Amino acid sequence: MTDPFAHGQLNLVPFVSVHHMMELVLEIGVERFLTELTGYIEEDFRRWEAFDKTPRVASHSREGVIELMPTSDGKHYGFKYVNGHPKNTREGRQTVTAFGVYADVGNGYPLLISEMTILTALRTAATSALAGKYLAPKGARTMALIGNGAQAEFQAMAFKALLGIDRLRLYDIDHAASEKCLRNLAGLGFDMTVCGTAEDAMEGAEIVTTATADKQYATILTDNMVGAGIHINAVGGDCPGKTELHRDILTRSDIFVEYPPQTRIEGEIQQLEPDHPVEELWRVITGQAAGRREAGQITLFDSVGFATEDFSALRYVRDRLAGTDHYVNLDLLADPDEPRDLFGMLLRFPGSSLLASRRRA
């Protein structure tokens, strides 16, 4: 297949800025984007064994974490740089920002560089909805959404697009965050209630999404708040020492994870013994393990975010980008006329001081 981005200039790499990502998402439509992206993520979970897998490489500090998330399917390679700093919103910054690279394994050349702050919110929501498709009670319409920050609306939109969720019960310790969510989602097909407590938000919910940010073992949900048959989509506990659920909920739930070696370090299950049984999402998707088996079962998707999901997101964006003008080409890779003459390229650069000093000598 010919490369849709081929232009004969090896130095250029397509770059998707935040501006371009917003254009692309809006042109496709948020719900359609989420649905198609979920398809790509699911497709890659189905070929799980084809991927190189490693827990992400995390650099922790007192204030947060910076992580690198690499993977490859042998043909393409992808990685994401992502941070998590819960205090950031108080300084006008995002808790989570990211960018990523998608490359050709055959020659190591990048094929795409992209903003991934918006893309991470979309892929996290898409992955949650994908897990929900296999784990949530059939016909669920009501979701409690606890933590109404940057991820929240994306989660709501993905659960609407893929599962038909149209009733939201919003709760955040900061009432202004819930009000923001209410404003942003108004007119998009939801019946919404802002709740005064997390307990109140759980009233009548068939699914609960927790997407709070705090760098501690928090207890957003206690055992008494979780009734039989609910599906828990736990998004915010994604770092050592950063969880959202009381341990007793975990021991009552059937737990589903992305990649156990990473989730045991970062997920809710860091609170459990290292051999506590968990099921891998890819095994459910491929039919090798059961998802929801019965109405009374409590299912928990202990989401932390795995590299293949970012790989799928970059793969999707690159496919959707072809033929559009929602990118620019960056002069990223040095491309001397003769590959080994890298120094000569510097020497011959117009106005090179190297050449001038040689002339003087």
Ligand X SMILES: NC(=O)c1ccc[n+]([C@@H]2O[C@H](COP(=O)([O-])OP(=O)(O)OC[C@H]3O[C@@H](n4cnc5c(N)ncnc54)[C@H](O)[C@@H]3O)[C@@H](O)[C@H]2O)c1
| Enzyme catalytic residues | 238
CA 248 vs. chain centroid, Å, equals 27
Q: Which of residues 173-192 bind ligand X (CB under 6 A)?
A: 173-174, 177
270 touching ligand X, by CB under 6 A:
no
146 touching ligand X, by CB under 6 A:
yes
Q: Min. distance of Cβ 295 from ligand X in angstroms? A: 27
Which residue's CB comes closest to ligand X? 149
148 touching ligand X, by CB under 6 A:
yes
Q: Min. distance of Cβ 315 from ligand X in angstroms? A: 17
Q: How far apart are the first and last CA of the chain?
A: 52
Rank residues 28 and 122 by Cβ distance to ligand X and give the closer one: 122
Six-digit token pair at 216? 């501690």
Q: E strand or H helix at 247, and its extent? A: helix 247-252
172 touching ligand X, by CB under 6 A:
yes
Could you please report the per-residue DSSP string of 107-147? T--EEEEEE-HHHHHHHHHHHHHHHHHHHSPTT--EEEEE-
157 touching ligand X, by CB under 6 A:
no
Q: Which of residues 203-222 bind ligand X (CB under 6 A)?
A: 211-214, 218, 220
- Among 83, 120, 209, 263, the residue binding ligand X under the rule CB under 6 A is 120
191 phi, psi to nearest 5 deg: -100, 115
Q: Which of residues 297-356 bind ligand X (CB under 6 A)?
A: 303-305
Q: Map residue 242 onto helix, strand or coil.
A: strand
Rank residues 5 and 89 by Cβ distance to ligand X and give the closer one: 89
Q: Are 115 and 327 in contact (CB under 8 A)?
A: no
Cβ neighbourhood burial of 345 (10 Å; 0-12, 13-18, 19+): middle
149 touching ligand X, by CB under 6 A:
yes
Binding site for ligand X (CB under 6 A): 84, 89, 95-96, 120, 124, 146-151, 172-174, 177, 211-214, 218, 220, 235-236, 238, 303-305
